[in-house]
């Protein structure tokens, strides 16, 4: 292999490693929203064909949270 193809292969491996690192998201300060975000963490364990249903549930949950946003007391951040 040439130096260039070695570099490209090394770069691709490095990028793949970067993409697989899990980053714990910060909390939003709203327990309901945090629960929805947490529900998305299991996507990697599901077949892609099931992702749409998970996203639809998350979307509906967030819509419900937003529809009642003016009625709830604001979340306090520590």
Residue in 15, 20, 25 with CA at minimum distance from that of residue 44: 20
> How do the domains of the chain map onto residue ranges?
3-67
Q: How far apart are CA 9 and CA 63, in angstroms?
A: 44
**What pLDDT digit, counting tens, does each position of 19-45 carry?**
556 666 688 889 999 999 999 998 999
**What pLDDT digit, counting tens, does each position of 42-75 carry?**
899 999 999 999 999 999 999 999 998 777 665 5
pTM of the model: 0.57
């Amino acid at each position: 292999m040439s130096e260039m193809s070695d570099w490209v292969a090394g770069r691709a491996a490095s990028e793949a490693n970067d993409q697989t690192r899990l980053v714990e998201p910060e909390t939003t300060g709203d327990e309901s929203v945090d629960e929805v975000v947490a529900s998305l963490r299991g996507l990697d364990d599901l077949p892609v064909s099931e992702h749409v249903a998970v996203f639809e549930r998350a979307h509906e949950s967030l819509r419900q949270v937003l529809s009642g946003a003016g009625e709830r007391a604001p979340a306090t951040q520590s």
